[in-house]
Structure 1
Amino acid sequence: MTPPLPGTPPGPSPRGSAGLPSARARLSAVRSRLALPLVRRATGLLEGQHRSVYRGHGQDFDDLRVYQPGDDVGDIDWRASARTGSPVVKRYVATSNVAVVLVVDTGRHMSATAARGEDKAEVAQYVVAIVAQVAQQRGDRVALVAGDAGRVEHLPARAGRTHLEVVLRRLERTFDPAAPPGDLPRLLDRAMRQTVQRSLVVVVTDEARPDEAARAALARLRTRHAVLVVQVADADAFAWDVAAGPPGRLVGSSSARERGRPTRVRRGTVVDAESGAVLPGLLRGRRRAVEAAHRARVARHDRTTALLASLGIPSVVVEGTHDALDEFVALLERQRRGGR
């Protein structure tokens, strides 16, 4: 059963609902959270990601200098080191205006509730704003591929703050509780066709995806591009009005094994976001039901993690807007260290 949405059964709703932040406000909120040291840290990590993507394919040799602790051993010029008697590394001019491709799953399941009680669509848009803002900070170009089984929205890669606002507004209009089911393989194939030059592709979906149906598309995408996956954790449908811990707590671990613990769920009917099936109220808060749901969730997470690991694709799970920035930076750090 797809993680449910507390409230009424899904139906048509106005896009860009009142009370949700606008594209400009969302970007402003992200900028305000990107304190200067963290900006340098995040943009530096993204630059390192570009270096690993484009090694030998988009950087111009600059000069040689003496090796220093922390330098990439792959940059050592062994012939020059033999001549000088000490290790020296090659320095390159960093590639600018690199394309960052945002592949965003906006299927019906993304209208459900995230682990911290926010709409999954809102969390996904916040993640997109983070990635776009970090890319804009570096002067990189940002492209968008978003949609579901019935439609695909595509915006070509461009730079500039105005373009970022266009990206977020287009994405906001794409989310809809009445949307068709998701089709992540279709989005991945579209990104592969539309993106010729080697790029950084950031896939934003929920914790049930990517699944086996997306394996072939991910494998093809991985041969040409660097790929990162950000998954939005689902709310625990079997909890009964229980808090998941201090709102200000930052996770940073991304194991997702505890994501199924009780979280804050509004009193009322719990409806499956995809099928419209209603979860019987008598099951909520029942120990056996909660434990069974948690075991199934952990097993699903392990399958998804194993799938991505087999393809060499780093991933992270976010609970809400409160931990999205920290988790994304942690994801870049692990990728830079070569961890998965």
Structure 2
Amino acid sequence: MSSDPRQTSFEAANVRRKIETLSSTLTLPTVRRALGVLEGEHSSSRLGGNNDPLSTRDYTFEDEARLIDWKASAKAGHPMVIDRERLVTSRVHLLLDHGLEMEGRTSSGETASEVAGNAMCMFAALSARRHDRISLVFADSKNIIRKPFKGGLAQFERAIDNGLGGSKRSPRNFEALLSYARTLNDQGSLLVIATDEHALSQDHLHALRLIAAMHPLMLIDVATLNPFRKVGFGHITDGLDGRGIPSFLIRDSAANAVDTHRKYVTMQLQEQLKASGTMLIRATSSEDMFSQFINLVSVTLKQTSFQSPQSFSILEGGMA
């Protein structure tokens, strides 16, 4: 469903600013642990892992306790850390459903594309800090386009905004997007797919399981407007043919039935995806997406010893 909003997407822009601030504020060790919550790992010549030693240095409050080398510390008379080859994912694939259906509105007034785009910026912000190679892909029924970019978050934001604001869209082809994901042969690289709640179905579970067997997989599922729920902006119309929703259908009983059905379908899908090791974030807005992502990461980081209190304050509410 789409609408004619009487306001700009203030919420989308506000969350984008939060993402930019988060990217510049979090320490690199925290970024590494945050991405480690989600990603698969393989050998790399980067620091912070458990393999071959690369260098010795003084311990800092940002280091994890497990990195302390007690023999080197005893010789030096103070805590020392040995940096070792780190197990990391060196590439992150961000696949965005660019179909016409993604112009549907959410309850916040944002389009599904805006929410999905901000989700991709969230992942790119952390990955760029760690200097991972980021692959951004837009897909609809006519094209699958990889948008090249170089640099950090600012360059990524320009690439995704240019992609979302590009030429006239075609309807989605989610099956083609999943087929493309299955062709990615760098096993272990993190893969994020963003779409709306109408694209995902039981028919896609087999393809998703095959992808999750090769990659750590995260799905961003954007919830769009309930067509029978009253909204505080614009007039709800069908996003594909422009027909309006008859006023007599916009009532609480119909809206509650749709909400119940959507909740049931989401719970069933989430349980089945979890069984294959796939994470699902279902967001109703950019703010909701941002909060869920931060909560997911911070809950895991709390289980890490010697976590910086500053990192927790940022992750859990310092951005509000």
Fold shared per TM-score above 0.5: yes
Deviation at 1:228? 0.8
* Distance apart, 1:202 and its partner CA: 0.9
| Paired letter, 1:266 | F
8 Å contact kept, 2:149–2:156? no
Matched-pair contact (CA < 8 Å) for 1:123–1:321 = yes
The one-character-per-residue Cα deviations of 1:296-323 (angstroms, maximum 9, x if unpaired) are: 2222222322332232201112222223
1:141 Cα shift?
Answer: 1.1
Q: Structure 1 residue 315 and structure 2 residue 283: aligned? A: no
1:326 aligns to 2:291 (yes or no): yes
1:152 aligns with 2:152: no
After TM superposition, list the pairs within 5 Å mapping 1:198-237 onto structure 2. Answer: 198-237=188-227
Q: How does 1:165-180 map to 2 (within 5 A)?
A: 165=157, 167-173=159-165, 179-180=169-170
Structure 2 residue aligned with 1:304, among 254, 269, 276? 269
Letter in 2 for 1:105: D
Find the aligned partners of 1:39 and 1:317 in 2 and give their Cα distance: 27
Match of 2:117 in 1: 125
Query: Letter of the aligned partner of 2:4 in structure 1?
Result: G
Instruction: Report the count of equivalent residues.
Output: 274
Q: Describe the shift of the 1:29–1:314 C-alpha distance in structure 2 as closer, same or farther (beyond 3 A).
A: closer
Q: Which of 173, 176, 184 pairs up with 1:186?
A: 176
Tell me the SS of whatever aligns to 2:195: strand
Write the mapping of 1:1-340 to structure 2, written as runs, cut at 5 A.
Answer: 4-7=1-4, 30-34=19-23, 36-37=25-26, 41-50=30-39, 53-55=40-42, 61-62=51-52, 92-95=84-87, 98-155=90-147, 160-161=152-153, 163-165=155-157, 167-173=159-165, 179-241=169-231, 265-268=232-235, 270-284=236-250, 286-332=251-297
Instruction: Tell me: CA distance 1:337–1:109, structure 2 relative to 1, closer, same or farther (3 Å).
Output: farther
Following TM superposition, by how much is the alpha carbon of 1:109 offset from its aligned partner in structure 2, in angstroms?
1.6
Match of 1:255 in 2: none
Q: Is the 8 A contact 1:145 1:190 kept in 2?
A: no
Distance 2:9 2:279 in 1: 30
The AA in structure 1 aligned to 2:194 is V
Structure 2: how far apart are the matches of 1:38 and 1:208? Answer: 37
The percent identity for this pair of structures is 19
Task: Name the amino acid aligned to 2:106.
Answer: A
Instruction: Note if contact 1:102-1:142 (Cα within 8 Å) is conserved in structure 2.
Output: yes
Following TM superposition, by how much is the alpha carbon of 1:96 offset from its aligned partner in structure 2, in angstroms? 6.0
Compared CA separation, residues 111 and 128, structure 1 to 2 (3 A): same
Q: How far off its partner does 1:195 sit?
A: 4.3
CA contact (8 A) 2:194 2:220 kept: yes
Find the residue that maps to 2:254 and give its secondary structure: helix
SS in 2 for 1:315: strand
Normalized against structure 2, the TM-score is what? 0.71
Counterpart-to-counterpart distance in 2, 1:152 and 1:171: 12
Return the alpha-carbon distance in structure 2 between the equivalents of residues 274 and 156 of structure 1.
30
CA distance in 1, matches of 2:96, 2:146: 10
Quick check: 2:31–2:129 contact (8 Å CA) kept in 1? no
1:191 aligned partner, one-letter code? A
Stretches of structure 1 that go unaligned for 5 or more consecutive residues are 9-18, 64-69, 76-89, 242-264
Please state whether the residue corresponding to 1:143 is helix, strand or coil: strand
Check whether the contact 1:105–1:148 (CA below 8 A) recurs between aligned residues. yes
Cα shift at 1:113 = 0.6
Partners of 1:38 and 1:330 in 2: CA distance: 18
CA RMSD, 1 decimal: 3.8
Gaps of 5+ in 2: 54-63, 68-81, 304-320
Post-superposition offset of 1:110: 0.8
Letter in 2 for 1:289: A
- Report Cα offsets for 1:280-304 as digits up to 9, x if no partner: 11221x2321222222222222232
By how many angstroms is 1:325 displaced?
2.2
Cα gap change, 1:157 to 1:41, in 2 (>3 Å): same
